[in-house]
Amino acid sequence: MTDQTKTVSPEADKDVSPEAGKDRVVIFDTTLRDGEQSPGATMTHEEKLEIAGLLDDMGVDIIEAGFPIASEGDFRAVSEIAKRAKQATICGLARAHIKDIDRAWEAVKHAASPRIHTFIGTSPLHRAIPNLTQDEMAERIHETVTHARNLCDDVQWSPMDATRTEWDYLRRVVEIAIKAGATTINIPDTVGYTAPVESADLIRRLIADVPGADEVVFATHCHNDLGLATANALAAVAGGARQIECTINGLGERAGNTALEEVVMALKVRGDIMPFYTQVDSRKIMNISRRVATVSGFPVQYNKAIVGKNAFAHESGIHQDGMLKNAETFEIMRPADVGLAETSIVLGKHSGRAALRAKLKDLGYELAENQLNDMFVRFKELADRKKEVYDEDLIALMRAGEDEATDRLVIKSLRVVCGTGGPAEAELVMVIDGTEKSVTGTGDGPVDATFKAVRELHPNDAHLSLYQVHAVTEGTDAQATVSVRLEEEGNIATGQSADTDTVVASAKAYVNALNRLLVRRGRLGEDKREISYKDVS
């Protein structure tokens, strides 16, 4: 008889995957909820759906899609995101009120994997707001978490301002929430007050001291008021937390939240001392970072970790010399790890559609043929004015063309006369709801004259609260990106545009913001915010 016994090398039985021997950390993204609470960062319905799709596609585990009871618009967005989600759990936020929880459930119940997240402020400062005693608040926590669990199998509970809550009371209410059915306990550092050593110790003590803690997932939600959000989140993981709440680009109220890209890449790069992993496809980080910056109107600072323009740029001669010899001398991660192309295709006026398509694909844009044709025309127009077209130029062109098809206000032509001899003049032609109109405006400078011309053609009471200009690339032929923020009757809208002519970019950004205000104005009554929720978790 032939011996068919199979000899297997001991090495063959080893799991050699990058996750071998590591604990998984769940990524909970709250860009669409906490991120949108940043003043001026409000997104349209379509933009929320787009960002949610990108988050789902990149492997985010849980998407907190909004605060359903805040407005009809938020409810519709959460509900639609829940219906469209392919793999992520979709979560809705609710205060510790039965009506909030019911509304959240109505929105997320369409998801294949729904979650209700309910919270209440437990620190002395926050208990004073509803004027509840410790016992009264404990009773409400039990009632609302129980109600949420009766609706949904996946319930997250947060003691807002947990890091400033008395230890004995925090331990008590966490135990109550667990017994009431919470499956995830989130510990928010709501005002960015704690330090890493405290963050780790707090999670560690809760897991050790609270009955039932070993049966739930502990999460961390950190704010960046002292610049410690990422450090505190990672310290909490070291202490036993297995869910990090974060946002793209660290977007969020005040100084922002823990940045998703920072914690994901920190765990990826420093797996030697942090034996954890996430399911996020880091190669898609740069694309979603740019898109969130665009729709929120919050540009990413140049020296921002991971996604900033200078994160992989080297100007120092010593650094450049080291990079040419071995990239690892000054880069601890590869640009490709976060979705940046490692090779550069230089584009100019002689470049064709194939090169443009390839470059756009590298930048994360997959265009249909008609979209490519439109982009190619705008690219050629820019290339005729510039010697070289950089990645940032292409991104600016993509942004400029995204909303034009549905805009009610469109600039057709602009001619400006300015100098030292007198007031500036702006000859403006606009198409307003399909009708072409023209006017000549005057002002203290070309931008002032242009904005006054726009207001004459489209009267409005919007207050200009921000006007910001920065160069997209270097050189006198660089495109200028202009950001404009307008406020009108409680609505805030941010517009952006880029052009080699700063005045043209300014006019387009101003009109872009006006178009956004028109969209929001049209939704008043059905999409008006009903409650204030700027200070939640």
Q: Which residues are annotated as a binding site for Mn(2+)?
A: 34, 221, 223, 257
Are 114 and 154 in contact by the 8 Å Cβ rule? The answer is yes
Q: Which residues pair with 347 in a beta bridge?
A: 389
Q: Which amino acid is at 452?
A: K
Please state, in angstroms and as integers, the Cα–Cα distance from residue 527 to each residue in 70, 71, 80, 308, following that order: 9, 6, 15, 34
CA distance 298 to 365: 20
Place of tokens 């049966």: 215
Reported as type and span, the H/E element at residue 80 is: helix 72-84
Chain length of the chain = 537
Q: Which two tokens stand for residue 144?
A: 């609302």
Residue 399: CA count within 13 A, CB half-sphere: 31
Structural element, H or E, at residue 206: helix 196-209
The number of C-alpha atoms within 13 Å of 397 and in the hemisphere containing its C-beta is 25
**CA angle at 17 for the pair 12 and 18, rounded to the nearest 5°:** 145
- Residues whose CB falls within 8 Å of the CB of residue 504, separated by 6 or more in sequence, listed in order: 411, 414
Rounded Cα distance, 508 and 161, in Å: 42
Nearest to 479 by CA among 451, 450, 503: 503
Region of 333 on the Ramachandran plot (φ > 0 left; ψ -120 to 50 alpha; else beta)? beta
Residues making up the annotated binding site are: 34, 221, 223, 257
Q: From CA 258, how far away is CA 221, in angstroms rounded?
A: 7
The runs of H, that is alpha helices, within 225-368 are 229-239, 260-269, 285-296, 317-325, 353-362
